[in-house]
Amino acid sequence: MDYYEIKADFYDFSNQYFITEIDGFNNPRAQLDWDEFLFEYLSNKQKQYVATIESGLEEVDFTTTFYGFCVVSEKFANLLVLEKISDCLFIPLIFNKQLSQKFYLLIDSLRYDCVDEKNSDFQKFLENDPVRPDFAGRYRAFFKLIIDASKTDNSDLFRLENEDSTVIVSQRIKDIYDSNHFTGASFTKVTLDRL
């Protein structure tokens, strides 16, 4: 199966809403303890999560927050559910502006150690890193990312082990996005072409 990195496309959709934060999280970063968060959410589904739109004029079907959380439109979320994409959880958001439809926080709790280091170009944090010595051995940046699809359990949506910001989606999710003319995302292929 082919996989793609999905990102908010602020180039082609430069007027999209920019979401700076989501209140209701103990740690507003994509580095949450997902098990702890899911336990808290499932035990209190009435809890509200308020998202702050800082700027922009346009709703899109996919975007990310300042801290790297994925946000999807109700249309996109409903199709992912209909197509039985089960590697994620959708949590309703409340916004500081009136919008034309509901939007959801897309919880992607799966992590895989699947970077094909032989075919990728990257940097890692060093042991004595002056800014983040606690991140020693984790990926700092990718200049070219290739993953080994055989290490992903055929999942449709996940992030990388030892790197929290990169979101990977399957060909299935990309096809759902493309065939429904959704907006807001860009895709970069991260698997090698098969011979």
Contact (Cβ atoms closer than 8 angstroms) between residue 158 and residue 5: no
Number of domains into which the chain is organized: 1
Domain membership of residue 194 (yes or no) is no
Q: pLDDT tens digit string along 19-73? A: 888 876 545 444 556 667 777 777 777 778 888 898 999 999 999 988 788 999 9
pLDDT at 44: 75
pLDDT at 182: 98
What average pLDDT does this structure show over 122-150?
92
The share of the chain scoring above pLDDT 90, in percent, equals 64
pLDDT at 134: 87
Domain membership of residue 44 (yes or no) is yes
Domain membership of residue 195 (yes or no) is no
Domain membership of residue 55 (yes or no) is yes
pLDDT at 61: 97
pLDDT at 28: 46
Q: Which domain holds residue 101?
A: 3-189
What average pLDDT does this structure show over 160-182?
95
Domain membership of residue 174 (yes or no) is yes
Q: pLDDT tens digit string along 62-110? A: 999 887 889 999 999 999 999 999 888 898 999 999 999 999 999 888 8
Q: Is 0.85 surpassed by the pTM of this model?
A: yes
Domain membership of residue 59 (yes or no) is yes
